Structure 1
Amino acid sequence: MMKNIRKYAGISPEIHDSAYVDDSAVIIGKVFIAENASIWCNSVARGDVSYIKIGKNSNVQDLTMLHVTHSNPGRTEETPLIIGDNVTIGHNCCLHACTLANNVFIGMGTTILDNAYIESNVMIGAGSLVPQGKRLESGYLYFGNPVKQIRKLSESEIEHIAYSAQHYVKIAKSHR
């Protein structure tokens, strides 16, 4: 196993053969990376106290940190990080124990905290903060610190989310 892809507590990451993980990215423990997903330069996915699941055709861009939450006193369940299919996560983001449904676009420098839930067909503007437990409704653009619903997405913006994911699938193939 490569030094940057390593076991934690005897559990190895599971990375689909078609996925691309840059040599500088670090993948640790209970991390599941699906078909055609890509993890870019200097990103970290640390699945130590729960698991991380990255869906098909999703991309995690440079300098992004993915982590999870352990069970706290009074809670018995772990809080994983789940990223759906066709998700684009911009450069330098921090996602912690949250869920992103399919077809989501996260702008650069965004932070999404524990138990936040991002529904399908959502765009979040660069530099936003999604607070703990916040749910973002499908079909809208969100922006701010803390994030606020700005306006309904156009059909072309929703199509762009899917385009972005497919574009990164192509770029990853050329990097392989």
Structure 2
Amino acid sequence: MTVEADASVWYGVVIRADFGAIAIRAGANVQDNSVIHVGMGSCEVGPGATIGHLCVVHDCTIGAEALIGNGATVLDGAVVGKRAMIAAGSTVTPGSDVPAETVAFGSPAKKRVPLTGTAKAWVDHNPRIYQDLARRHRDGIEPV
């Protein structure tokens, strides 16, 4: 398993690479109580990507600055493109390909629209917000 510089992994996250490899690239964030798991394959969370709270990310590729909404599931062999957003609660089925700069939603996540408006603002600002938050947290926490 690799966690690069300025990436953050928050409380309650489970990262399990039993036989494969997991890489959380620079500046990415994995939020509370999410699970990243691989069997024999691999999983990459791209630079600046966000895995929201309570997500399941399994044997897949998450592109740079992509945002996986709270409670979403991304399954085996799926590819979430650069700066794409998976809406909260959605399920990206095995082998799916979500194009860059789109929002996919539903279960399965088949409905897709261009990344605009509020969704674009979240994708634009979330990497920096979480990198700053992780630094503030690291610098302000005291051992008990």
Which residue of 33, 38, 44 maps to 1:63? 33
What residue in structure 1 maps to residue 123 of structure 2?
161
Structure number with greater CO (CA < 8 Å, separation at least 6) is 2
Contact map agreement 2:17 2:39 (CA 8 A) in 1 = no
1:46 positional shift: 1.0
> How far is the alpha carbon of 1:48 from its aligned partner?
1.8
Which residue in 2 is equivalent to 1:45? 15
Describe how 1:12-31 pairs up with structure 2 within 5 A: 31=1
1:102 and 1:34 map into 2 onto residues whose CA distance is 13
Alignment pair present for 1:120 and 2:82: yes
Label 1:107 to 1:155 Cα distance change in 2 as closer, same or farther (>3 A): same
Secondary structure of 1:174's counterpart equals helix
Structure 2 residue aligned with 1:89: 51
TM-score (norm 2): 0.91
Query: 1:117 deviation in Å?
Result: 0.6
Which of the numbers 97, 103, 109 marks the counterpart of 2:71? 109
Shift of residue 158, structure 1, vs aligned partner: 3.4
User: What 5-or-longer segments of structure 1 have no aligned partner?
Assistant: 1-30, 71-78
**Structure 1 outlier segments of 4+, above 6 Å:** none
- Contact 1:140–1:149 at 8 Å: present in 2 too? no
What is the aligned-residue RMSD (CA, Å)?
1.3
Say whether the 8 Å CA contact 2:55–2:71 is kept in structure 1. yes
Cα distance in 2 between the residues matched to 1:128 and 1:51: 25
Give deviations 1:68-108, integer Å, cap 9, x for gaps: 022xxxxxxxx101111010111000000000111101100
How far is 1:160 from its partner? Answer: 3.1
Q: How many residues align?
A: 138
Taking structure 1 as the reference length, what is the TM-score of the superposition? 0.75
Structure 2 unmatched ranges of 5 or more: 139-144
What CA distance in whole angstroms lies between the structure 2 residues aligned with 1:51 and 1:61?
20
In structure 2, the residue matched to 1:11 is none
Deviations for 1:100-147, whole angstroms, at most 9, x for unmatched residues?
A: 111101100001110001111201110000010000011211101000
Structure whose alpha-carbon radius of gyration is higher: 1
C-alpha separation in 1, matches of 2:81 and 2:87:
15
Report the 3-state secondary structure (helix = DSSP H, G, I; strand = E; otherwise coil) of the residue aligned with 1:147: coil
Amino-acid identity (%): 33
